Structure 1
Amino acid sequence: MNYEMRELRGDDLFTLLSIVGKLDIKDDFVKMFERNAVTDSEVDAEKRGMEATANLLQTVLKNIGSVKNDINALLADLCGVNVNEIKKLGLKDYTALLINFFKKPELKDFFTSIASLL
């Protein structure tokens, strides 16, 4: 199956922050941003945002059990389907959907914005 995801909206911020909070990775982000804080340009902030996105994907995959319901609900909302449809996806389709989510430009923007605040 191939689901099309809508763009992230401002209201999705709360779900994303909840997921980040449950993964308890704030300190990891702060350390990463502090390491790169010597130069504070837009390019550096974008680079930190992309690195944060990759780290989040890796952390989510390692700890999927603790955020599974949140991820499934978010993916269902983004695709305009119910959560049960997401849960029933085959492994290949689910993984592809998850990877496509983490490739969304708006997600990079979310982490870039956070990076510029820290």
Structure 2
Amino acid sequence: MTIEMRELKGDDIFTLLGIVGKLGIKDEFIQLFEQNVESNVKTPQDHKKKEPTKAQKEKLEQEAQRRGMEAMAGLLQKTLLNAGKLKDDINALLSDLTGEPLKTIKNLGLKEYTGLIIQFFKKPELQDFFTSIASLLQ
């Protein structure tokens, strides 16, 4: 059985924030953002334009993307470690994203269920979300 997942929408942020809140990873996110601020302060600037050079901007963008990926990987790890506490939230999110009834999601085989979770964490919109958050504090 192959279940397709829709794109994430702006309204999904509230569900995601609820799950992130239950994961208790606030300290990890604060540390990530503090690293962003520290790296921005150390970035030399073009003396004439008073802004980073093209090469420096590219490096900053790559760094923000790397930090976003780190945050996403941390979120995946915490989600899997706390799956029991988040079971209802995760099932509801997967049900919403796939359009499948909650009962169908709960009764999926282990392979299909794990596949959905992996599919969710591979969504480009989720990566973009974390990259955007990481770049906010540059």
Alignment correspondent of 1:97: 116
Instruction: Report the equivalent of 1:74.
Output: 93
Deviations 1:43-81 (A, max 9, x none): 211111111111111100000111111111111111111
**Where do 1:21-100 residues align within 5 Å?**
21-40=21-40, 41-100=60-119
CA RMSD of aligned residues (A): 1.4
Gaps of 5+ in 1: none
Do the aligned partners of 2:36 and 2:135 also contact (CA within 8 Å) in 1?
no
CA distance in 2, matches of 1:24, 1:115: 18
Question: Equivalents in 1 of 2:36, 2:91: separation in Å?
Answer: 33
Structure 2 Cα separation of the partners of residues 20 and 12 of structure 1: 12
Distance 1:11 1:36 in 2: 27
* Whole-angstrom distance in 2 between the partners of 1:2 and 1:26: 34
Deviations 1:4-63 (Å, cap 9, x if unpaired)?
A: 100000000000000000111011122133235443422211111111111111100000
Between the two proteins, the alignment pairs up a number of residues equal to: 118
Between the two proteins, what is the percent identity of the paired residues? Answer: 64
The CA deviation at 1:114 is 1.7
* Aligned residues of 2:32 and 2:134 also touching (Cα < 8 A): no
Structure 1 residue runs of 4+, over 4 Å off? none
Q: TM-score, normalized by length of structure 1?
A: 0.92
Partners of 1:117 and 1:68 in 2: CA distance: 31
Kindly indicate whether the alpha-carbon contact (under 8 Å) linking 2:67 and 2:131 is maintained by their aligned counterparts in 1.
yes
Give the aligned residue type for 1:109. D
Q: Which secondary structure state, in structure 2, belongs to the residue aligned with residue 60 of structure 1?
A: helix
